[in-house]
Amino acid sequence: MTTSTQTITRRHISEITPTRKLVMGIIELVIGILIFFLFAANLAPELMTTFNMTPGGISVGTMADWVLPSRLTLIIIAVLCTGIGVFQLVRGFGRATNGLVGLCGLLFVMSFLIWQASGKSLNLSGMLSSAVLLAVPITLAAFSGILAERSGTINIAIEGMMLMASMFAALVGSLTNSAVIGLLGGVLSAVALAMLHAVLCIKYKINQTVSGTVINIFSAGMTAFISQKFLQKYQNLNAPPMFTRIPVPLLSRIPFIGPIIFNQNLFVYLMLVILVVLQLALFSTRWGLRLRSVGEHPKAADTLGIDVIRTRYIGMLLSGIVAGIAGAFFTLGSVGRFDEGMTTGKGFIGLAAMIFGNWYPIGALGAGLLFGFADAIGSKLSLLGSSIPPQFMGMAPYLITMIVLAGFIGKGQAPAAEGQAYEKE
């Protein structure tokens, strides 16, 4: 069983079809060409782009500003993306294909920033710090999806779990005047929905997509009702304390990286801890092998004595916990109050990040950071005096999501038994 599963997993990861190899190479070539003709070709050679490398209000971990020759830098990036595309067409990158497509996309965004900030300055470090925060709910939603789907259960109810958790985190946090207890309340509300989804899908074998959709609709309606009936009327019920920045000793003093990663609030650190724990647990422990085997070959796992039903319930329980943390982020780590529909589809974008990352935690983190980075750009455009409406850049994460779901990064390798109800013989 172990050898078979590992062999199949390695084969799935390494397989690159000729069509996918061709499409990925063409996309990377097009990105390189666009960078040159859209951004580099029309810039005056003497223009310089200044990137401020320390977020505003931060006094530790400071770093000197970057001053780059705009046109030359863009030409170098265009050549790099073109070279990646040519190599992909000729030989291919194997399992690194998704990562390099993401890298080219990131370089395209960076090229856009260099072009927009040519002759001006942009606080790059501050924008990246915001991008990390914006990536938190997306990445955690992706982790939640991985836990559920690796055990064989489709969980499109993550959006509803996050929305419910954000409301209960605000309500409980306001009533107790404690951000920690508010976080616990938000997590418990998401776990309750996760267990409802698990019972419907695992015990009663209801279509998992239908069950998740019902939970999303229920959460949207219930949170809107409670918000209008109580939270908007009694403002003291919607004023929770928030988690503030917690600088990590020594690490927060590392130039550039320190202020971005190690001078954040609790949710960023939770995201990083969950990343490490989840990656090691899934792929370096017996428990992880059993969880993955249930999502790949439940009958074979059952034959070897693994309790398939129990394992799937555990997967959904853990999925609910992580989704609850993601939802609580909005009210306790970002906004400081609950507003109707405030998750704004981040749960669905998290599922796209999960697919982009090929159901691997590290890949999901990379996709989440890419989406968060695109989301952070819109708020900076107005400061640069850009003629591009910031609302257009606000669409970027959703456009990227559609591109991902359209299959430009490949079909991916979902767990073989994902979405299939199991009945013990």
- Tens digit of pLDDT for each residue in 170-192? 999 999 999 999 999 999 999 99
**Coil, helix or strand for 263?**
strand
pLDDT at 407 over 80: no
Burial class (CB in 10 A: 0-12, 13-18, 19+), 296: buried
Lowest mean pLDDT among 87-96, 234-243, 401-410: 401-410
- Torsion sign (Cα): 171, 172, 173, 174: positive
pLDDT at 96 over 90: no
Count each helix (H run) and each strand (E run) in the chain, helices first.
17, 5
Identify the H or E element spanning 53.
Answer: none
Q: Give the residue among 281, 271, 177, 169 at the shortest CA–CA distance from 223.
A: 169
Summarised one tens digit per residue, pLDDT across range 138-155 is: 999 999 999 999 999 999
Give the model's pLDDT for residue 94.
80
pLDDT at 4 over 50: no
Give the model's pLDDT for residue 406.
65
Q: What is the mean pLDDT of residues 292-305?
A: 94
Distance, CA of 267 to chain centre:
13
Summarised one tens digit per residue, pLDDT across range 6-47 is: 443 444 444 567 887 888 899 899 999 999 999 999 899 999
**Coil, helix or strand for 273?**
helix
pTM (predicted TM-score): 0.86
Q: What is the average pLDDT value for the chain, to the nearest integer?
A: 89
Q: Tokens 């946090």 label which residue?
A: 173
Residue type (1 letter), 271: M
Q: Which residue has the higher pLDDT, 374 or 151?
A: 151
Q: Could you tell me the CA-to-CA distances from 334 to 6, 64, 134, 230, 268 in Å, in that order?
A: 41, 28, 9, 21, 11
Q: Could you tell me the CA-to-CA distances from 125 to 73, 121, 159, 272, 380 in Å, in that order?
A: 18, 12, 30, 19, 12
What torsion do the CA atoms of 245, 249, 254, 259 make, to the nearest 10 degrees?
A: 0
Give the model's pLDDT for residue 270.
97
Q: What is the mean pLDDT of residues 322-332?
A: 98
Distance, CA of 402 to chain centre:
14
Maximum average pLDDT range among 21-25, 115-119, 133-137, 252-256: 133-137
